[in-house]
Structure 1
Amino acid sequence: MKKLKILLIGGTKDASNITQHIKENYDSYILTTTTTEYGSKLAIESGSDDTIAKPLLKDEFIKLIENNDFNLLIDATHPYASHITQTSVSLSEICNINYIRFERLPSNLENIDTSRVHEVTSLDEAGKLIKSNYNNGNVLHLAGANTMENILKYVPVSKFYARILKVPKSLEKCESLRIPEDHIIPMKGTSSLEENIKIIEETNADVIITKESGDIGGVTNKINAANAKDIDIIMLKRPKIKNLNKKDIISNLNQLDEKINNYFYN
């Protein structure tokens, strides 16, 4: 059986699940790239053989692939990390390497009351909507540390509360934006319905901003918590990736096995 030499662009729970599955089922070497030490720690814990814990430029990725003779590139980054997915598509073409994009499914909201959900296509649109419709109340930001600056163009920091991963990079971002310490809610992983309700109550939030990050991102719990407290949610829609071929996209581990078998064992 051919040994898989995999470059995995990760830093997500999806990437950890993929790594664990591959290590349990295939003869493989996996190098995971992440942008943070926290992501690297998760990668090692899930079985990655090695990690790089810093952002890489496109040329650095090309050298990495060429110098290590990788035969599979897996992009398991967050659905909103559109820039790196665009780069990974380009890398697969330049380096002529087998490519898989793992993209978590959107949440199934069929039986969820979404009457309070307002979808937007950009952070600027979200900020303008908050400024025009919710300018008197507090904003609970559940859309990640990298998006805070865009929203704070439209929201006073005194009315802004952010739930973020408790990692140095995110905490430094809060400090640079002068977000008061008591407005920062550190977290690990996704929050339950009860935890979301508690956060809404503690921050006296009038509106939530979040991403459509799928069930693994706790979207359903956020919507149900907002409904329980009679507040609205502004939800950032997923970006569309140019040149990403649908045939390269998978969303579960069974499809991952099918791709690997098609590439290497047929």
Structure 2
Amino acid sequence: MCELLIFGGTTEGRELAEFCCENHIISVVSVATEYGAELLPDSEYLRIITGRLDSSGMEKLMSELKCKRVIDATHPYATEVTANIKKACAAANTAYYRLLRSSSETTNCKKVRDMEQLLKLLSSTDKKVLSTLGSKEIPKLTAMKNYAERLWVRVLPNEDIIRQCEELGIAKERVIAEKGPFSVARNIEHLKLSGAEIMVTKESGAAGGFPEKTEAAKQWGAELLVLERPAEKGYTLGEIKKMISE
């Protein structure tokens, strides 16, 4: 039996895993990718499971582990994954806790409620756009006007992702394939390289480099469009740490 099953792949998930190791709390972390697994600590108190799971796979894992609690530390925008975790917890009769990412101040930017509103804004102008939304949103971004000439994307340096961009009609020279975190200076370099007058990002908090993007856009003179995160209820990292220590 394990004390905790953490669905991670985020900074918060890694910090929680490190806390468990330091405090000798037996836990299991499930991450979708090998990259996510590489960032986790090596400890006798931590078991790492790699690979994407649907709700039935999650339920099976919970039943096998007989874990007391499940902590959902997945990305704030991974709504489908969170829905699957909740469904699996209900089926396995396991306590579910959502770990919330801290928000950053969202000044000097324009918030948009969803991708539909974002695409309308992007299609109402001819300005060049640098997207830092991640690879999953790229297919949706191809709906914007003249995307092949205007859209630059920043993604992880993964061959499959780069190939996907090319298949979608985004030329290789418009793909910035780098792994963060990115400083203000590096964000400015990417804005300069792309010539972008609009930078698009998620409300990803300090862990997702949001403050650096905000400052870079301000210094470069680019408009910053921010895709709002879905509304959620849950617990801070500090609250989760306190709860599992009791």
**Is the pair's TM-score, using the shorter chain for normalization, greater than 0.5?**
yes
User: Where in structure 2 are the equivalents of 1:15-164 lying within 5 Å?
Assistant: 15-30=13-28, 32-43=29-40, 48-53=46-51, 55-109=52-106, 113-114=107-108, 117-132=109-124, 134-135=125-126, 137-155=127-145, 156-164=147-155
- Deviation per CA, 1:230-264: give whole Å up to 9, x if none: 221111001135xxxx4xx2222x31222214xxx
8 Å Cα contact 1:34/1:51 also seen in 2: yes
CA distance in 2: counterparts of 1:118 and 1:41, whole angstroms: 35
Which residue in 1 is equivalent to 2:221? 230
Question: How many percent identity over aligned positions?
Answer: 26
The one-letter code matched in structure 2 to 1:221 is: E
- Deviation per CA, 1:24-68: give whole Å up to 9, x if none: 1133031x2222222222236688422122x21111111111122
CA distance in 1: counterparts of 2:40 and 2:60, whole angstroms: 22
8 Å Cα contact 2:18/2:40 also seen in 1: no
CA distance in 2: counterparts of 1:187 and 1:92, whole angstroms: 36
Q: Mark the runs of 5 or more structure 1 residues left unpaired by the alignment.
A: none
Aligned length: 244
Among residues 187, 190, 193, which one is paired with 2:184 in the alignment?
193
Residue 49 of structure 1: SS of its match in structure 2? Answer: strand
Q: Which moved more, 1:202-211 or 1:150-159?
A: 150-159
- Deviation per CA, 1:52-101: give whole Å up to 9, x if none: 22x21111111111122122211111110111112222322222212221
The one-letter code matched in structure 1 to 2:79 is: S
CA distance in 1: counterparts of 2:166 and 2:22, whole angstroms: 41
The one-letter code matched in structure 2 to 1:174 is: C
Pair 1:260 & 2:244 matched: yes
The one-letter code matched in structure 2 to 1:75 is: D
Which residue in 2 is equivalent to 1:6? 4
The offset of 1:178, in angstroms, is 3.0
8 Å Cα contact 1:44/1:51 also seen in 2: no
Residue 39 of structure 2: SS of its match in structure 1? Answer: helix
Q: Mark the runs of 5 or more structure 2 residues left unpaired by the alignment.
A: none
What is the aligned-residue RMSD (CA, Å)?
2.0
TM-score by length of 2: 0.91
8 Å Cα contact 1:138/1:206 also seen in 2: yes
CA distance in 1: counterparts of 2:168 and 2:41, whole angstroms: 31
